[in-house]
A and B are shown apart, each in its own frame.
Chain A
Amino acid sequence: MSVLEIRGLHVSVNTENGSVEILKGVDLTIKSGETHAIMGPNGSGKSTLAYSIAGHPKYTITSGSVTLDGADVLDMTVDERAKAGLFLAMQYPVEVPGVSVSNFLRTAATALRGEAPKLRTWVAEVKGAMEALNMDPAFATRNVNEGFSGGEKKRHEIMQLELLKPKMAILDETDSGLDVDALRIVSEGVNRAKVNNDLGVLLITHYTRILKYIKPDFVHVFANGKIVEEGGPDLADKLEANGYADYVSK
């Protein structure tokens, strides 16, 4: 049983016009097995929250804390956060020219498991993960995210989620750019990871449609750098009907 605790998180970015505060005090607690949906309009700071937890160098934490099972996440390097059990499925996964998917996955698995996975079981593991997400085997020989379609990038992120077995996953708009079939396949991958690894999920989304496939236990409305309303799954239905207008105008 793991707990990710975010307390009073304030985050700024440096711009040409000096430092701008994006997150204005975020409080959130996620436990193993729980799924929390964070919903909010574009520009409200959802990705900033995701990146700040993962440790992207662009963001400066000005106050607050993030802990995983009591350990200070903000004090860790990016790779240490992953080793502690955090995973970020990115809204815009990054291309790494010349590095094949198979090489990348094996390097990551080696880093996270502390030893190189046995070649034979590893090959079967990757093959299984790819089949489960309806991915062409040739995918493994392609360069990381290079020339991938939007859907392929998202499948690749979820394949990593399944292979790398984190404790807590932040999924940043994993649903955007997916057609209905791909959305279902990707959602099933997330649900498998939840069942198999008792995964805690922070599901960031702009739309409610992914919530039909991945059932949230809690829904948080995010606007202007903080959580402005919280509730159960029914809050998503309300957002579906009314949109974010109520929150943005405040």
Chain B
Amino acid sequence: MSVLATNYLTPTGREEAWRFTPLKRLRGLHDGTAAVGERNSLVTKAGLPKGASFTRESLDPLAVSDDVIIERIRGEVADVAHLSIDANAEIKEPIFLTRSAGALDSAELSRVRISLGNHAVATVIVENIGDTLLAEDLEISLAPGSSLTFVSLQEFDAKSVYTARHHAVVDKDAVFKSITVTVGGDVVRILPTVEFTAPGASAELLGVYFATTGQFFEHRMHVDHAVPNAKSRVNFKGALAGKDAHTVWIGDVLIRAVAEGTDTYELNRNLLLTDGARADSVPNLEIETGEIVGAGHASTTGRFDDEQLFYLMSRGITLEDARRLVVRGFFNEIITEIGNEEVQERLMERIDGELERAGA
């Protein structure tokens, strides 16, 4: 075991990037006091299909990061768990990566790379499970013409702390779609970020989160339109129930002066199911050129709709079941995008369970 190097600027909570995060609950991930254990928990769940390989190798980072935890991971860890999809491979079945081991008394620093060759097509589902203290630098590279659906499932147990950046670099005409689901853990902080490197690229960042009593889930998007004619869509839906459930959604979209023809829209909707919960939602569009196709954002926070509950109950459905239906319905739009029935049903059951636990 080693202790994290401390020659990085430790966040104080006053920085814009850290102003919502409960630093004290990060168990020393942010200030270098966490002891680091030797764990490489990410493993393939089943055999890999033809055209895919999973190795550990030394790789340079794809992109710079200004996140202090990501910097620390890079300073400590050379080996990267690398899932590589060959050029032109078209893999229909999803590739599952899952967590083999977790621990709370020491931290795992993880570097992951998912790379798709030219015109490769794949779906990758990462299952983050168990109780663990995990900081992760996950980078995704999409070569020209490739297409990836990246599903990231935070199904942690109650005590987990997970801080990560999921950064995609999307090349010419490549199609990146991510579905980020956060339903478990004590503190989860994910930076889903996208950088376009050539025109014609597109990214769709979808997500759902459901925080119950005491949980803190933060999703801090950043989409960098640094080239012309790229398209991005962001749609995150969250529900909160129980005292001190707290979620943060930040949608930073930057359209640089060169990024003419940009088409972007971001949406965040939150459902506050009980009193005592707090949803922060901050869309932030920075536009440096007027020559664009479209740019917009919307953010809403609502409660259970009495008319919906009344309609369902007037057909004999109990209040509890009516609420469950409404919440499932709220998340359904995004969850069905995963395209895997087994995972979808598992998540819906988890959502039912969280709802029940929170007594909403």
A-to-B contact residues, CB < 8 Å: 54-58, 77-79, 81-83, 87-88, 90, 93-99, 103-104, 107-108, 111-112, 143-144, 160, 164
Contacts and interface: CB of A to CB of B under 8 A. Distances in A.
Interface in B286-311: 305-308, 310-311
Nearest to B327: A98
Contact of B315 (A56, A82, A98): A82
B256 interface: no
A108 B312 CA distance: 8
B331 interface: yes
B325 A99 contact: yes
Interface in B306-352: 306-308, 310-319, 321-322, 325-326, 328-333
Contact of B311 (A57, A94, A98, A111): A94
Contacts of A98: 328-333
A95 B315 CA distance: 14
B179 to A, nearest CB: 15
Contacts of A103: 325
A94 B319 CA distance: 16
Contacts of B326: 96, 99
Contact of A79 (B318, B325, B332): B318
A78 B321 contact: no
Contact of A99 (B307, B310, B316, B332): B332
A158 to B, nearest CB: 13
A94 B307 contact: yes
B143 to A, nearest CB: 35
Contacts of B325: 96, 99, 103-104, 107
Interface of B: 305-308, 310-319, 321-322, 325-326, 328-333
A120 B240 CA distance: 37
Nearest to B307: A94
B303 to A, nearest CB: 14
A132 B329 CA distance: 28
Given A96-B308, A99-B325, A111-B321, A54 B330 contact: no
Given A98-B329, A98-B333, A104-B325, A79 B317 contact: yes
Question: Which of the listed residues B306, B312, B315, B318 has the most CB atoms from chain A within 10 Å of its own CB?
Answer: B315
A170 to B, nearest CB: 10
Contact of A108 (B306, B317, B329, B332): B317
11 contacts: A79-B317, A79-B319, A81-B314, A96-B308, A98-B332, A99-B326, A104-B312, A107-B312, A107-B325, A108-B312, A164-B315
B310 A111 contact: no
A58 B307 CA distance: 10
Q: Which of A79, A99, A160 has the most CB of B within 10 A?
A: A79
A55 B319 CA distance: 13
Contact of A78 (B305, B308, B314): B314
Nearest to B329: A98
Contact of B316 (A55, A94, A112, A144): A112
A143 B329 contact: yes
A54 B317 contact: no
Given A57-B310, A78-B310, A97 B316 contact: no
A96 B310 contact: no
A78 B319 CA distance: 9
A97 B313 contact: no
Contacts of B312: 96, 104, 107-108
A88 B319 CA distance: 17
Nearest to B237: A98
B313 A96 contact: no
A57 B333 CA distance: 29
Nearest to B322: A79
A112 B332 contact: no
A73 to B, nearest CB: 13
A210 B329 CA distance: 35
B318 A97 contact: no
Given A57-B306, A77-B313, A94-B308, A111 B318 contact: yes
Nearest to A99: B329
Contact of A97 (B306, B314, B319, B329): B329
Residue of A54, A90, A94, A144 with most chain B CB atoms under a 10 A cut-off? A94
Contacts of A54: 310, 314
A86 to B, nearest CB: 8
Contacts of B331: 98
B328 A96 contact: no
Given A78-B313, A99-B329, A111-B321, 7 more contacts: A81-B314, A82-B315, A90-B314, A97-B329, A98-B332, A99-B325, A108-B312
Contacts of B316: 79, 82-83, 108, 111-112, 164
A90 B308 CA distance: 12
B314 A82 contact: yes
B186 to A, nearest CB: 28
Nearest to A163: B315
Nearest to A96: B308
Contact of B328 (A57, A95, A99): A99
